[in-house]
Amino acid sequence: MKSDFINELGVMFTENNYISDDIYNKLNVKRGLRNKNGTGVLVGLTKIGSVLGYSIDKDGKKVPSEGKLYYRGIPIEKLVAQFRKEKTFCFEKTMFLLLFGKVPSNFELKMFISTLKEYQHLPDEFIEDFILRKPGTDIMNQLQRSVLCLYTLDENPDDISLSNLIDQSLNLIAKFPSLLVYCYQACNYKHFNKSLIIHNPVEEYSIAQNILHMLRSDNNFTELEAEVLDLILVIHAEHGGGNNSTFTSHVVSSTRTDTYSSISASIGSLKGPMHGGANSMVTKMVEDIKKNTNPYDEVKLKEYLKKIFQKEVFDKKGRIYGMGHAVYTISDPRAVILKKKAYELAKEKKALEEFELFSSIEKLTREIGKELKGKNFEICANVDLYSGFVYKLLNIPQNIFTPLFALSRIASWNAHRMEQILVDKKLIRPAYKAIDENGNVFL
């Protein structure tokens, strides 16, 4: 009875809320905050990061170009090359840059890391009461709840003065790696009958090293593994103010709510498969390909990819996950950087055949796109194509792929939050028009 009634309500809702595409076009609605040419509607300004993947010609059309990503005006390739020379704490340096607008000096980095170490430990009662007692089945949801619960530990949680916002940001950044791993361990223990192993972070380790240390029962990891994870965190750390989870930070922060509510909302946004959950979808897609065809035969692989493209197989949504991006057209600079490092790690792990599969998916999808959409059609590999593969090589469980994405963005979300509160100051409130069943606008 209940299910029948709910189905009836679903039919009723659908009938009474349907709006045709014609009405959207007639009223010039910027659906998804996108212009007709696919570019984003300009709603704000930022100094933190920028993303470029095309130019606009005199007729207002998008002209594809090589992808560029800038952190505080510095190209990501240059930043990665500079930080890799310095070896340790690359992600920590990146977070400092995003938050405060400059690459830290040795002294500034030392003080920054020292402050993070001071804040990184979670109280035992917090771990017991808020993480272990009622673990959820989804790590992202549990992270949201845990971040909100940190509000209760803050003596001044609603203060939005700059000094307090910075203090809260550093506290969240420091605690987030432990929150992530402990939520994962609690979920495994409660729902999958696995041993509960809690490792405390090691003071001299970087964030990337501590994640591997806390995740693994034997605490062992190689230098290359830590270096690759650190690189993934760096290249995921910022992507401009317009990506969904960062824009969420701006929207929620414009109300002047507390930091914990804002960051929790951004985590909720990132969870979606259209955003941060995409790397998990790549893994599922590849598993489906392996199950239904010979992925190491290029002819058969191309045939199956074409069927995915045409909504005939896999999830029938016509998306080859890990390919295509809202901004990047010819290339995603993050994917270019990560692909090179993925090759190194695959070589160490004796997984070059698997690496070649992902490389083939990238190449063949480009070919299929031009065959089906025309020679001018451009589609590139995005960072998700190779990040899931790298996580697999690092023996990182699939259900924390997206939580690691959240970890990489934690400093950026706070930087954008502070920017919104201190610079913009305007409550974000776009307009919606009310229409009747005939598409007429109510006066």
Q: Which residues are catalytic?
A: 325, 384
Give, for 49, the enclosing helix (H) or strand (E).
Answer: strand 49-56
Q: Which residue blocks in 254-351 are alpha helix, DSSP H?
A: 259-271, 278-292, 298-309, 333-348
Query: Quick one: residue 82, left, alpha or beta (phi over 0 = left, psi -120 to 50 = alpha)?
Result: alpha
Rounded to whole angstroms, the Cα distance separating 107 from 94 reads: 15
Q: How many CB atoms lie within 10 A of CB 197?
A: 13
Q: Do residues 428 and 259 touch, judged by C-beta distance below 8 A?
A: no
- Crossing angle for the helix pair 383-393 and 333-348, to the nearest 10 degrees: 20
Bridge partners, 63 (sequence order): 55
The CB-based long-range contact list for 82-91 (8 Å cut-off, 24+ gap) reads: 83/234, 84/227, 84/231, 87/227, 88/206, 89/113, 89/206, 90/206, 90/230, 90/231, 90/234, 91/206, 91/207, 91/208, 91/230, 91/233, 91/234, 91/237, 91/408
